[in-house]
Chain A
């Protein structure tokens, strides 16, 4: 198996309503990733696209429409999707293009333009439910995540104040991200006083809806040496999808994330993630999800994530910085683009290029993760900086 290097990354600003089309957003991100790698589109042999439901953009076969914007004209091009897990999965999708030996270079692009969905993208989520058993109830995502959040908090006796700390941290971290939509200094009281949407979920517990795109350049180790002295490597990938019958599962713990993480760690030869991983970008569309996912990623024991958060371990200057980018809560959450943004953050942090966001623990290994569908999918990518070996 060939080791896959990352040599470029780029992303658009995440915004509530972009004037650009999805195609243009994809182009901008792809162009930035190529510029950062020092490449032209002719140097790219194939494109791996990630974009989640067609209902957001209102485009049937959305990836076909996006293809030329993503640099795929005349090239092998396919689109993968696993709901909210799509973004990080696009990194997995791009990884096998190069690791298989089929291609030496691959452009990885994630795009989402949610604002096209009127009056609000939440409407698109009405159509994700089983059309015989669930859709008639008119459920939406906030409701079912309220169930999950409640179950998680109840099982471990977690206080809402501790969950709110994640929102405070990630919105604050995003203040240092030039492409962030929602960087702001808030307090635990702000979160607790924000509008209740479906208890225990309040407005500041949730990431915003966003438009945006992000992209990376993957290549072989050999190609990477020609372009940079400072490559980053994709050393582990994992993905698992659980049953669609989410009502049959105990929602207090994301077993599918654990399985995906173990798959990635085995490949990256990580046997003690808490010690061997410098920082993490778990998926945080809701503040409790960061905690939930830290546990699934084996970065702490079940129920321990709120304690680490309270103790400051997950701050940027802590021992295990978590969502140093600002995450989905702060940078914004254009679904598939968010996951790729998290991959971009690992690239920038591991190269020491994250500017004011740079974590302080001399990072060598990082993990990013995304989640989605009916609380059902975990996608995981482990990256290492050059010079480190699995």
Chain B
């Protein structure tokens, strides 16, 4: 947390004890192994005896709340922090099981990833998505990760190899599931006025949307990612431009099929046409995604937002998407939730709330 915060403040040119007026952390107690973990947020990020709060949600939900604080006019500069230290979690599956409905689902003692297997089967059955396209997502994202110095799982793998890996949760294969990673991200957000003073090349948040579908497994629409559809619709309405117009996308790929499903929910292309879209369309997950970078739990969305910010500022090195001016970042909280968010960003043409500079560690 400290390291990421120092890098972000240095990059943004802000002094946290003086310039940052609000600090927002994103964490969940069970992953931390500490109850009311928000206690341990302020010291590492320069927030002691300052306005600090924690959002129990995805990183993008933290950004949305910080942006709303700024939009009230009472906060000029805010920092958003999220991290993953999954390597210290003894039994992550047991933690995930604790997210299941205690009356209806937990007694089944199921592995929560099986829900993703079931959803993938439903997705392949009704959407027209091709089995092999899911495997290709893995090959693409892990290859993209080779150019990302922060990625934990860069590799050259073929779709054949992916399909030959163990069938973990039928029809899903082991390599189609993102693997855990440790990491932290801090982003600095600022009002338009403050952003223009702090930076020559701020990235603007044009639109944001977030939504929950039902948490009840038995009641949800298993064929669609409605949380992503609703989030995208709201974000797009606020931004005033359709997500299709972005030059790059960072889309949740916790499981390979989810990238295709989420791209459909954003209105980019029909699942049946994904292979062609990947060949000819704008880059999806140039960072390497969760499959290539590793899954950071609730820090995932924030990390990917950091990638989009780097891209729009032309700082993405070997991963740079040439001439990138607009980006869309989409997140999902993972099984068994139906919580997701979408952020729409632009590099040069302004927007209602400003994202200052960001940095990742």
Contact = CB atoms under 8 A, between A and B. Distances in A.
Interface of A: 1, 21, 52-55, 58-65, 67-68, 72-84, 89, 92-93, 95-97, 99-102, 124-125, 127-128, 130-131, 238-245, 255-256, 259-260, 263, 267, 372-374, 376-377
B61 interface: yes
A76 B333 contact: no
B339 interface: yes
A139 B30 CA distance: 20
Contacts of A72: 212
B47 A80 contact: no
B339 A77 contact: yes
Contacts of A376: 39
A61 B68 contact: no
Interface in B38-74: 38-43, 47-57, 61, 64-65, 67-74
Query: Looking at B41, B52, B234, B333, which has the most chain A CB atoms within 10 Å of its CB?
Result: B52
Interface string B221-250: 000001000100010000000000000000
Nearest to A99: B72
A99 B61 CA distance: 17
A152 to B, nearest CB: 19
A79 to B, nearest CB: 4
Given A99-B72, A263-B51, A131 B34 contact: yes
A379 to B, nearest CB: 9
Contact of B212 (A67, A239, A263): A67
A76 B232 CA distance: 12
B206 interface: no
Contacts of A75: 211-212
B61 A81 contact: no
Given A53-B29, A64-B333, A68-B216, A242 B68 contact: no
Given A54-B30, A99-B72, A259-B49, A61 B333 contact: yes
B55 A78 contact: yes
B213 interface: yes
Given A124-B35, A241-B41, A96 B72 contact: yes
B1 interface: no
Contact of B71 (A53, A61, A78, A102): A102
Contacts of A68: 212, 214-216
Interface string B304-322: 0000000000000000000
B96 interface: yes
B337 A61 contact: yes
A10 to B, nearest CB: 21
B95 to A, nearest CB: 6
Given A72-B212, A77-B212, A60 B55 contact: no
A58 B338 CA distance: 20
B49 A59 contact: no
B39 A374 contact: yes
8 contacts: A59-B102, A60-B28, A64-B338, A76-B211, A77-B210, A79-B56, A79-B57, A244-B40
A1 B73 contact: yes
Given A76-B209, A96-B69, A240 B36 contact: no
Given A55-B29, A78-B55, A243 B42 contact: yes
Contacts of B53: 80-82, 89, 92-93, 239, 241
B211 A127 contact: no
Contacts of A95: 72
Query: Looking at A68, A77, A80, which has the most chain B CB atoms within 10 Å of its CB?
Result: A80
Contacts of A243: 42-43, 48-49
Interface string B61-92: 10011011111111000000000000000000
B33 interface: yes
A82 B30 contact: no
A67 to B, nearest CB: 5
A186 B53 CA distance: 38
B290 to A, nearest CB: 18
A241 B47 contact: yes
A64 B35 contact: no
Query: Looking at B36, B38, B212, which has the most chain A CB atoms within 10 Å of its CB?
Result: B36
Nearest to B219: A68
Contacts of B29: 53-55
Contacts of B73: 1
B254 to A, nearest CB: 14
B14 interface: no
B65 A96 contact: yes
Contacts of B34: 127-128, 131
Contacts of A92: 53
A65 B96 CA distance: 12
Contacts of A241: 38, 41-42, 47-53
A54 B65 contact: no
Given A21-B103, A79-B57, A242 B42 contact: yes
B215 A80 contact: no
Given A60-B95, A82-B38, A255 B214 contact: no
Contacts of A374: 39
Contacts of B118: none
Contacts of B51: 238-241, 260, 263
Contact of B57 (A63, A127, A373): A63
B64 A78 contact: yes
